[in-house]
Amino acid sequence: MSLDTLKQHFQEKFSQAPDIYVSSPGRVNLIGEHTDYNNGFVLPCALQYKTHILATKRDDSLIKAYSLQYLEQPEEFDLNAEIMHGDWAWGDYLRGVAKELLGQGHQLTGLNIFIDSQVPQGSGLSSSAALEVAVGGLFNYVGKLGLSTQQIARTGQAAENNFIDCQCGIMDQLISAEAKEQSALLIDCRDLSTRSVSIPENLALMVINSNYPRKLADSEYNERRAACELAAAAMGTPSLREASMEKLEAVKATLDEVVYRRAKYVICENQRVLDAEKALSTGDLPTLYSIMKEAHLALKNDFEITVPATDGLVDICMEALDGKGACRQTGGGFGGAVICLCDKADTDKVVAAVEANYHKNFSLTADILICEPGGGLNASSL
């Protein structure tokens, strides 16, 4: 939807013109899975799909909000009253962020808000983080709160952890808040330091959702976390970030074979993220592709969080690209999406191969998104 059409929606709902515009993107993780809670590295990239907010300041303490995606569910709450869960699940993302900011001692003013997002929901592109960061960015801009992008990201994460009750890490919010145009972001999850790495113009980012119904993801996630903690304890390191393959080999005899493989995966994945960042920054795409390929195999064989449908999608894409690209499962696992990197000229081949083979082999239909890198949080006056 164009900004002009969005302005018309705002005018219709609030009988005034908006004077503040905020946008914040969804993201895909290029590499670095299950490394975040091990204090390791991740390499996400913000996408062109963004959540857009138009707003005006109110004279009172009310938040009145609409989302184009939930037009029949108008949201309203009072910043001066205790913030509780509302009638609409989507409104809780606004409430959660407001509650966190008030809890930090910030003064917030009432707002009229109209939201529209191109970030598909529940497709692994983190529409929730895009919304939290956009709302945090809006309060920050209007109230001149002076928050850094990292503070806005932390606030979004806290809202999701405390109010939405989803125990996500910081990656999604941090990339949405801090992304630079045409770049991925190396994030060190130990101290949250970041480094932008530019993405070659000809590199296509395809996100292909397997639409495999995710099951057992929570219990399996907890099992992986526990195994990582066990291995770190055996090596006497605070987390797997401080571990190494030498240290792991030294305690191998004392470890369960499965725990050994889980730890090996994380230790090697951290190195792969750093190697991938280096390959990307030097434009060495063949090396990047081989790291991605190895990462998927490690997810499959050592961390064991892939499913036949995502393994199948990876195989279909890799075969179509014949070495001129790479594909791996992205996200927490047990279904979800794969990310495929290739030359922009080759995306048609991938689409054709997925359409010809995925449904035939897995009785599922994949959603294919051809993505572009995008910039991060932006707030301005209209």
Give yes or no for residue 112 binding Mg ion (CB under 5 A): no
Tokens of 375: 């910039």
Residue 90 near which of Mg ion, ligand ADP, none (CB within 5-8 Å, type-dependent): ligand ADP
Candidates 49, 66, 77, 93; binder of ligand ADP (CB under 6 A) is 93
User: By the 8 A CB rule, do 123 and 366 touch?
Assistant: no
Please name the residue that has the structure tokens 């290739």: 342
User: By the 8 A CB rule, do 101 and 155 touch?
Assistant: yes
Give yes or no for residue 209 binding Mg ion (CB under 5 A): no
Give yes or no for residue 207 binding ligand ADP (CB under 6 A): no
User: By the 8 A CB rule, do 171 and 187 touch?
Assistant: yes
Name the minimum Å distance from CB 356 to Mg ion: 31
Candidates 28, 54, 131, 276; binder of ligand ADP (CB under 6 A) is 131
Buried b (16+ CB within 10 A) or exposed e, 168-204: bbbbbbbbbbbbbebbbbbbbbeeeebebbebeeebb
Cα 168 from Cα 153, distance rounded (Å): 12
Cα 314 from Cα 366, distance rounded (Å): 12
Give yes or no for residue 128 binding Mg ion (CB under 5 A): yes
Angle CA(332)–CA(210)–CA(182) in degrees, nearest 5? Answer: 70
Stretch that binds ligand ADP, among 2-10, 122-130, 150-158, 365-373 (CB under 6 A): 122-130
Please name which of 110, 203, 189, 196 lies closest in space to residue 157, comparing C-alpha atoms.
189
172 has catalytic annotation: yes
- Amino acid identity at 307: V
Name the minimum Å distance from CB 303 to ligand ADP: 21
Residue 69 near which of Mg ion, ligand ADP, none (CB within 5-8 Å, type-dependent): ligand ADP
Residue 115 near which of ligand ADP, Mg ion, none (CB within 5-8 Å, type-dependent): ligand ADP
Closer to ligand ADP by Cβ: residue 89 or 216: 89
Name the minimum Å distance from CB 126 to Mg ion: 5
Stretch that binds ligand ADP, among 125-133, 180-188, 257-265, 372-380 (CB under 6 A): 125-133
Contact code string over 229-248 relative to Mg ion, x by CB under 5 A: --------------------
Candidates 128, 149, 176, 239; binder of ligand ADP (CB under 6 A) is 128
* Residue tagged active-site, from 36, 172, 275, 346: 172
Stretch that binds ligand ADP, among 121-129, 201-209, 234-242, 284-292 (CB under 6 A): 121-129
Instruction: Determine what percent of the chain falls in helix, strand and coil, rounding each to the nearest 5.
Output: 45, 25, 30
The dihedral through the CA atoms of 335, 339, 340, 345 has a sign that is positive
> Which 3 state secondary structure label does DSSP give 87?
coil
Name the residue number minimizing CB distance to Mg ion. 128
Phi, psi of 375 (to 5 degrees): -80, 175
Q: What residues make contact with Mg ion under the rule CB under 5 A?
A: 126, 128
Catalytic residue positions, numbered = 172
